[in-house]
Amino acid sequence: MSIQVNRLADPTVRAFVTAVNSHDKAAFDALLAPGATMADDGTDRDVADWADREIFSSNGHMDIDSESDGGRVLTASYRNDTWGEMRTKWHFTVDDGKITRFETGQA
């Protein structure tokens, strides 16, 4: 049973998932701190390039299965038109309402 996005504990992470699922690139970009970084399966990636490829141009969508660490760690079923659906884990570092780093990968 998935967790409703509006019930996620961390407001910044909740806004991130909302932006991903509504394909709202402006809202997504606004959540990132200047110089924000990310990693996919342990490899650092360019945030803008990765987000365009894995989320916005491929209809990315997150269904949240669980959360921990005050909502900063999520397990989700993630799907997009490129890779289909997979179980993923997401770790967020949030500072003053902005995401400074996120890491994702298969769970």
User: What is the distance between the alpha carbons of residues 67 and 49, in angstroms, rounded to a whole number?
Assistant: 26
Domain that holds residue 94: 5-106
pLDDT, average across residues 76-101: 97
The total of structural domains in the chain comes to 1
**pLDDT, mean of residues 41-63:** 97
CATH classification of the domain holding 75: 3.10.450.50
| pLDDT given at position 2 | 87
Question: At residue 1, does pLDDT exceed 80?
Answer: no
β-pair type (98-106, 32-40): parallel
pTM across the whole model:
0.96
